[in-house]
Structure 1
Amino acid sequence: MARTGTWAERARVRLENEYVRLTPMTEQDREGWREQALDPEIWTHFVTRVDDEAGFEHFFDAYLGATEAGKRTTFTITDLISGRIAGSMSYGNLSEPDLRLEIGSSWLGRDFRGRGVNHWAKYLLMRHAFEGMDAERVEFKTDVLNERARRGLRAIGATEEGVLRGYDVMPGGRRRDAVYYSVLRSEWPIVRARLEEGPRHR
């Protein structure tokens, strides 16, 4: 059966398993985000900074506006064990003609790191990308210096492709080298099986 709707429409879904729930962000998520986001450690390798209340408001408003405009879909992640908002993750760089998208802008509050939340959120987003949106390629990028993120991407079965030197500018002025990873449709059955085994604690 042919699927209907644009990718921007098909990306706006609620995704859930027994561990996490992902919902497209709304204004009602603001305070839950704020509770987690005012932690400087989150932003070490981000191209944006949230240093204070004003910075948080700008950050939240920018992502909410882009989501409402259909330029990306940013999800609020709720940890179902605690019932609390844990952080956020996004579908971005949607290239529907090429059947390619990026999963990124991933961050979690301090209480939710190393507990499998990132693992299950990425699993749900990849599953929907390949099985609900018919993507051929799901890609990820991170700061070449972000060893935690790189270990995590390897752990979920993504293939490291290479480094784009001087890719963009970090808040302190450093030009970031960005390292790309991807999972292809042909690889998804193996990656899915690996993810469904649960997170490997590193």
Structure 2
Amino acid sequence: MAFVEPVTLSARGIELVPLALAHEDGLRAAAADGELWNLRVTSVPEPENTRAYIEAALAMREQGQRFAFAVLEQASGTVLGTTSYHDILPAVKRVEIGYTWYAQRCQRTHINTTCKLLLLTHAFEQLSCHVVGWRTDNFNHASQRAIERLGARKDGVIRGHALRRDGTIRDTVMYSLRSGEWPEVRAQLLYLLNRPRRQEARHAD
């Protein structure tokens, strides 16, 4: 049995469902809002590569390495973006959250915080994870701010760690949150979501 089993998570009008080939058109439309594939420090697929992006995510699911979700507007079923558990380590009960991006119109809204609350709640309270991690490009300052706002701790920087889409080599900034820190982080996320007319940092990783 896989550590991360198929599950649908929902709250505040947002639904996370297992990513499938049926989401191809919706995911392509979400990426087109802002032409997100032009962002140097993210992995958003170009329109013609959307199907291959989903197929790669599904292959990683079969290998137990990644579980990708489509982020939907619950009322309409519109695809708003995607996010994943990845680098899944069942033996030590650790997952990372990443491959996250949203249509431009969804940025600076409650959507990212809602998705993180859903993913963290499932990881700590259903999967009994000891640690949840994040990683992001050293030049993706918006992502770093968003991760830090969640209450994660910066573990360090892995230098010369991975290739960017333009062929340059990036440093990777690593963050983590331990299970003992989760109750306070959960309270903070709920506080942020319950504030009126709140704004949040643009996020993609």
TM-score by length of 1: 0.88
Displacement after TM superposition at 1:85 (Å): 1.1
The one of 8, 13, 25 equivalent to 2:4 is: 8
Matched-pair contact (CA < 8 Å) for 1:7–1:96 = yes
Partner of 1:104: 98
Displacement after TM superposition at 1:135 (Å): 0.2
Whether 1:59 and 2:43 are equivalent positions in the alignment is no
Q: In structure 2, how many angstroms separate the alpha carbons of the residues matched to 1:86 and 1:69?
A: 26
Whether 1:89 and 2:83 are equivalent positions in the alignment is yes
Partner of 2:145: 151
Displacement after TM superposition at 1:201 (Å): 2.1
Whether 1:168 and 2:166 are equivalent positions in the alignment is no
Alignment of 1:113-124 (within 5 A): 113-124=107-118
Q: How many residues align?
A: 194
The one of 118, 131, 141 equivalent to 2:135 is: 141
Q: In structure 2, how many angstroms separate the alpha carbons of the residues matched to 1:190 and 1:49?
A: 32
The one of 45, 52, 58 equivalent to 1:50 is: 45
Matched-pair contact (CA < 8 Å) for 1:144–1:179 = yes
| Unaligned segments of structure 2, at least 5 residues | 201-205
Matched-pair contact (CA < 8 Å) for 2:20–2:54 = no
The one of 190, 193, 203 equivalent to 1:196 is: 190
Identity %: 30
The one of 27, 31, 36 equivalent to 1:41 is: 36
Partner of 1:71: 65
Matched-pair contact (CA < 8 Å) for 1:37–1:56 = no
Superposition RMSD on alpha carbons, in Å?
A: 1.8
Q: In structure 1, how many angstroms separate the alpha carbons of the residues matched to 2:63 and 2:23?
A: 17
One-letter amino acid matched to 2:36 = E
Partner of 1:25: 19
For residues 53-108 of structure 1, the C-alpha deviation after alignment (integer angstroms, 9 at most, x for no partner) is: 1x222212211332355431100001236642110000111111111110110011
- Mean Cα displacement is larger for which, 64-73 or 127-136? 64-73
For residues 138-161 of structure 1, the C-alpha deviation after alignment (integer angstroms, 9 at most, x for no partner) is: 000000110110110111111111
Partner of 1:181: 175
Matched-pair contact (CA < 8 Å) for 2:96–2:133 = yes
- Mean Cα displacement is larger for which, 154-163 or 192-201? 192-201
Matched-pair contact (CA < 8 Å) for 1:40–1:50 = no
Matched-pair contact (CA < 8 Å) for 2:117–2:189 = yes
Matched-pair contact (CA < 8 Å) for 2:71–2:79 = yes
